[in-house]
């Protein structure tokens, strides 16, 4: 964030701390950066202030005298505040991290956390590097679409898929792709799955969509296998598909039609999908696995399933959810969860894939922790089939001359 840009509005900071000394330290640090500071000692005053002023930064002591600072988060959210938060607390790092995660879940942006006694230097460093003010990215909201429009779109062949690379973290070799559905609507432009899959599920259109996508994805994938015979293709299944007992036959038929071995296909399902109707899901997943199709638990760590019931199913792969991956450099707790998931996966003979890798340090950390395969913007965003074909040709050419 540009601090007090010339001619622009001044940056306003609120410090909430029941002790005077930390309030002074914050004001002093802020002053060196040209930030105007208000200080308050109680939750009541803080609530009144955030209702009256649209602060850019709130420095919050987590333990106020009669209240905990956490209560202020709710008020900030209710006030529609876009302030960036800095937490200060004498509690240990775990408590501060938990508070930061809670704020994130409320849609607030956290710049960092600081221990007590408060020191000027780390505080100035934090304030200098403040992220853009504003809410963290909102969850994709479902577009206002009529089921008939979606159905017409399916009939008119407006559903297509993009492919995102999966690579080995050590050698960065392309080992698979994940197919991601898109709807090219003449009225709405490109529509993302979050915006139309829930509708398709309610309107009983999901089977048609899934069949379309599998057929198209397998057809486009087929030629890549001659360049890279061990390449796999991953396809996401809706929870609704896991209650459809005809699914294994349909998938087998589509594999046969494209002359692909079952082992080339990975079907990704979320924990929640399995738990919705465990008996039906167990039936379908076991029959898919017996046919040689590989199964992956997607977004692992976000559901609240019974770990045991989940891990008793014949999965081949576990995908660590992006949330843990993206925060593992700042959040020691996330790194510990990742380490535990990797060792659990090793014990059970599951391949581990980390999703949402955006930076080199994260890729290196995951590699050190024993994760073999990764996916994320660092290795490539979802692209059309020509994007993958070109990449494979380049790799084949490079390998040919080496």
Q: Give contact residues for ligand G (rule: CB under 6 A).
A: 164, 180-181, 192-194, 197, 213, 236-238, 298-299, 322, 355-358, 376-377, 382
Which is closer to ligand G, CB of 248 or CB of 382? 382
Which is closer to ligand G, CB of 121 or CB of 139? 139
Q: From residue 309, how far is each of 77, 82, 248, 286, 339 by CA, in Å?
A: 37, 41, 21, 13, 21
The token pair at 200 is 């398709």
CB atoms within 10 A of CB 154: 16
Question: To the nearest whole angstrom, how small is the minimum distance from the Cβ of residue 400 to ligand G?
Answer: 29
CA angle 396, 398, 402 (to 5 degrees): 115
Can you say whether residue 24 is alpha, beta or left, with left for phi > 0 and alpha for psi between -120 and 50 degrees? alpha
Q: Which does 299 bind (CB under 5 to 8 A by kind): ligand G, Mn ion, none?
A: ligand G
Interaction between residue 268 and Mn ion (CB under 5 A) = yes
Q: Which residue's structure tokens are 């001359």?
A: 401
The token pair at 191 is 């529509």
CA–CA gap between residue 335 and residue 150 (Å, rounded):
41
Question: To the nearest whole angstrom, how small is the minimum distance from the Cβ of residue 183 to ligand G?
Answer: 10
Long-range contacts of 20-23 (CB under 8 A, 24+ apart): 22/61, 22/88, 22/116, 22/117, 22/118
DSSP-assigned letters across all residues of 18-35: SSHHHHHHHHHHHHHTT-
Question: To the nearest whole angstrom, how small is the minimum distance from the Cβ of residue 185 to ligand G?
Answer: 15
The token pair at 386 is 């020509």
Which is closer to ligand G, CB of 249 or CB of 358? 358
Which is closer to Mn ion, CB of 298 or CB of 321? 298
DSSP-assigned letters across all residues of 364-399: HHHHHTT--EEESTTT---B-HHHHHHHHHHHHHHH
Closest by CA to 272, choosing from 297, 236, 293, is: 297
Which is closer to ligand G, CB of 39 or CB of 376? 376
CA–CA gap between residue 378 and residue 364 (Å, rounded):
12
As to burial, measured by CB atoms within 10 angstroms (0-12 exposed, 13-18 middle, 19+ buried), residue 339 is: middle
Q: Looking at beta carbons, which residue is closest to ligand G? A: 376
Which is closer to Mn ion, CB of 268 or CB of 331? 268
Interaction between residue 271 and Mn ion (CB under 5 A) = no
DSSP-assigned letters across all residues of 153-192: HHHTT-EEEEEEEEEETTT--EEEEEEEEEEEETTTEEE-
Q: Which does 36 bind (CB under 5 to 8 A by kind): ligand G, Mn ion, none?
A: none
Site string for Mn ion, 197-236 (x = CB under 5 A): ---------------------------------------x
CB atoms within 10 A of CB 183: 24
Question: To the nearest whole angstrom, how small is the minimum distance from the Cβ of residue 300 to Mn ion?
Answer: 11
Question: To the nearest whole angstrom, how small is the minimum distance from the Cβ of residue 52 to ligand G?
Answer: 35
Interaction between residue 317 and Mn ion (CB under 5 A) = no
Interaction between residue 331 and Mn ion (CB under 5 A) = no
Which is closer to Mn ion, CB of 247 or CB of 353? 353
Which is closer to Mn ion, CB of 237 or CB of 362? 237
Question: To the nearest whole angstrom, how small is the minimum distance from the Cβ of residue 175 to Mn ion?
Answer: 15
Q: Parallel, antiparallel, or unpaired for β 317-320 and 294-300?
A: parallel
Interaction between residue 56 and Mn ion (CB under 5 A) = no
Binds Mn ion by CB under 5 A, chosen from 38, 56, 271, 298 = 298
Question: To the nearest whole angstrom, how small is the minimum distance from the Cβ of residue 66 to ligand G?
Answer: 40
The interface region with Mn ion, picked from 61-69, 97-105, 264-272, 334-342 by CB under 5 A, is 264-272
CB atoms within 10 A of CB 223: 11
Which is closer to Mn ion, CB of 38 or CB of 298? 298
Q: Which does 194 bind (CB under 5 to 8 A by kind): ligand G, Mn ion, none?
A: ligand G
Question: To the nearest whole angstrom, how small is the minimum distance from the Cβ of residue 226 to ligand G?
Answer: 25
Q: Which does 193 bind (CB under 5 to 8 A by kind): ligand G, Mn ion, none?
A: ligand G
Question: To the nearest whole angstrom, how small is the minimum distance from the Cβ of residue 145 to ligand G?
Answer: 15
Which residue ranges make up the site for Mn ion (CB under 5 A)? 236, 268, 298
């Amino acid at each position: 964030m540009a601090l007090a840009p010339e001619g622009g509005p001044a940056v306003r900071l609120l410090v909430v701390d029941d002790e005077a000394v930390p309030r002074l330290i914050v004001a002093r640090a802020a002053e060196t950066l040209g930030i105007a500071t208000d200080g308050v000692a109680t939750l009541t005053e803080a609530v009144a202030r955030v209702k009256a002023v649209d602060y850019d930064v709130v420095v919050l002591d987590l333990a106020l005298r009669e209240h905990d600072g956490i209560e202020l988060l709710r008020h900030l959210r209710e006030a529609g505040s876009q302030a960036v938060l800095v937490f200060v607390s004498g509690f240990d790092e775990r408590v501060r991290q938990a508070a930061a995660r809670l704020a994130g879940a409320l849609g607030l942006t956290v710049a960092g956390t600081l221990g007590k006694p408060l020191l000027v230097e780390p505080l100035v460093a934090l304030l200098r590097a403040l992220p853009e003010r504003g809410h963290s990215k909102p969850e994709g909201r479902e577009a206002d679409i009529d089921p008939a429009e979606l159905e017409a779109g399916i009939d008119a062949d407006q559903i297509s898929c993009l492919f995102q690379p999966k690579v080995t973290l050590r050698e960065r070799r392309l080992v698979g792709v994940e197919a991601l559905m898109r709807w090219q609507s003449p009225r709405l432009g490109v529509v993302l799955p979050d915006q139309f899959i829930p509708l398709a599920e309610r309107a009983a259109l999901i089977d048609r969509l899934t069949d379309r996508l599998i057929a198209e994805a397998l057809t486009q994938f087929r030629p890549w296998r001659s360049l890279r015979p061990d390449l796999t293709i991953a396809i996401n299944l809706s929870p609704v598909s896991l209650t459809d007992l005809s699914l294994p036959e349909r998938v087998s038929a589509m594999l046969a039609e494209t002359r692909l071995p079952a082992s080339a296909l990975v079907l990704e399902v979320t924990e929640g999908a399995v738990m919705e109707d465990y008996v039906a899901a167990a039936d379908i997943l076991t029959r898919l696995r017996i046919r040689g199709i590989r199964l992956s638990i997607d977004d692992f760590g976000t559901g609240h399933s019974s770990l045991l019931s989940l891990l008793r199913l014949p999965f081949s792969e576990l995908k660590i959810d992006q949330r843990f991956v993206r925060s593992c450099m700042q959040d020691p707790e996330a790194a510990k969860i990742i380490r535990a998931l990797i060792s659990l996966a090793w014990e059970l003979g599951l391949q581990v894939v980390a999703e949402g890798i955006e930076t080199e340090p994260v890729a290196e950390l995951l590699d050190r922790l024993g994760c073999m395969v990764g996916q994320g913007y660092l290795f490539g965003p979802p692209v059309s089939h020509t994007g993958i074909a070109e990449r494979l040709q380049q790799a084949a050419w490079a390998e040919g001359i080496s």
